[in-house]
Structures are given as C-alpha cells and as structure tokens.
C-alpha cells in the first residue's frame, strides 16, 4: 500500500485525537484530497510550514448541503467557494505537485474542487455557519501501513508556527 496523505482544516481542535479510525474523523474541511508523494515527507513539511507562515486566517461559511461519493451517500456541508479557500486549495496542490504528488481523484482538483465538510456522526456544520480557517493539518492516511488508522502528522498555523504532533 502506498503512503497516502490528505490536508484538512479541523473545525474543533479540542475533538481531534492524534490518531483515529476512518469512521471517527473529527469534523473537518478538506483542502487537498488524498495523494501520494514522490519526495521525502520532510520536504513537504518544510514547504507547508513556509507556505503557512505567509498566510493569514480567514473566515469560511457553510453554504448548503450535498451528497458526495460514488453512490451519493456521503452527506456534506458545502463551503462557499470564495477566493481565499480556492486559492489555498490551488496553492497546496501546487506545493504537492512540485514534490511529485499523485492524486487519487484528480478530477476533484483545481476547477473540480468543491470545498466541503463531511457530516460526522456527532458533528456537522449548519447552513451559513461561519468558522475561521486559521490552520491546516497534514494527515497520514495509513500510519505504519495500517489502513484502519489515521494519524496527525503536523498542524500548520497560518501566519505562525507549526504545532501539534511531529512525525
């Protein structure tokens, strides 16, 4: 199994454990969907830290609901696709692409990107709810080659220093 990563913004950091199962994702906004990397992970972490330090926090707002997935069975709250979040998605894709990333679903990148927060069992965004996107988190989708786990690699504060778990 190839090592895969995702970049998200967790809505309520107090609910985010260092490691969790795929069915226990805390509420989050997907900024860059699953990808493998062609360079060492440390290079990506350095690039993400550099990028985050030059960005400022901004507000995002829920804007309706939809069903995602092949069978349209995944409930999501859509995020208004304003300039800031779309630019962040494109910037993150550019950073990862420069490091040889391969994306699971390239059709949902760039113009196909639809910012969203997947509804969780105990949490969801309500329509028009506004949250501040002040950081993003790199998540290991297969820590130790275990497909049944997800692990926080590092969280990057916008305009500040990285925090949370290290590799």
Report pLDDT for 70.
83
- For residues 108 and 116, the answer to whether their CB atoms sit within 8 Å is no
CATH number belonging to domain 5-163: 3.90.1140.10
pLDDT at residue 165, rounded to an integer = 46
pLDDT above 90 for 145: no
Q: What is the mean pLDDT of the chain?
A: 91
What percent of the chain is predicted at pLDDT more than 70? 94
Closest C-alpha among 103, 117, 8 to residue 68: 117
How many other CB atoms are found less than 10 A from the CB of residue 9?
25
pLDDT at position 71 is 86
Cα–Cα dist 77/139, whole Å: 21
Give yes or no for a contact between 109 and 88, defined as CB atoms under 8 angstroms apart. no
What per-residue confidence (pLDDT) applies to 166? Answer: 44
Residue 144 CB: number of other CB atoms within 10 A? Answer: 7
Strand partners, 132: 59
pLDDT at residue 72, rounded to an integer: 86
For the segment 116-142, the average pLDDT, to the nearest whole number, is: 92
pTM of the predicted protein model: 0.92
- Region of residue 83 (left: phi > 0; alpha: psi -120 to 50; beta: else): alpha
| 76: number of Cβ within 10 Å | 22
- In the chain, what are the domain boundaries? 5-163
- Segment 16-63, tens digit of pLDDT: 999 999 989 999 999 999 999 989 999 999 999 999 999 999 999 999
Distance in angstroms (rounded) separating the CA atoms of residues 151 and 167? 9
pLDDT value at 162 more than 90: no
What mean pLDDT comes out for the span 75-87?
A: 94
What is the reported pLDDT for 1?
52
Count Cα atoms within 13 angstroms, Cβ side, for 25.
21
pLDDT at 88 over 50: yes
Rounded Cα gap, residues 29 and 9, in angstroms: 5
147 exposure class (CB count in 10 Å sphere: 0-12, 13-18, 19+):
exposed
């Amino acid at each position: 199994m190839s090592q895969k990563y995702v970049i998200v913004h967790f809505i309520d950091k107090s609910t985010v454990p260092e490691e969790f199962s795929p069915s226990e994702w805390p509420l989050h906004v997907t900024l860059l969907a699953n990808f493998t990397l062609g360079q060492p992970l440390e290079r990506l972490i350095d690039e993400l830290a550099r990028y985050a330090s030059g960005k400022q926090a901004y507000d995002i707002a829920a804007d309706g609901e939809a069903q995602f997935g092949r069978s349209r069975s995944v409930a999501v709250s859509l995020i208004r696709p304003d300039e800031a979040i779309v630019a962040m998605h494109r910037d993150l894709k550019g950073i990862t692409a420069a490091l040889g990333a391969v994306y699971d679903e390239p059709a949902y990148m760039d113009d196909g990107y639809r910012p969203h927060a997947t509804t969780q069992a105990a949490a969801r965004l309500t329509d028009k709810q506004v949250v501040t996107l002040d950081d993003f988190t790199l998540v290991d989708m297969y820590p130790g080659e275990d497909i049944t786990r997800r692990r926080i690699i590092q969280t990057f504060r916008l305009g500040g220093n990285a925090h949370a778990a290290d590799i």
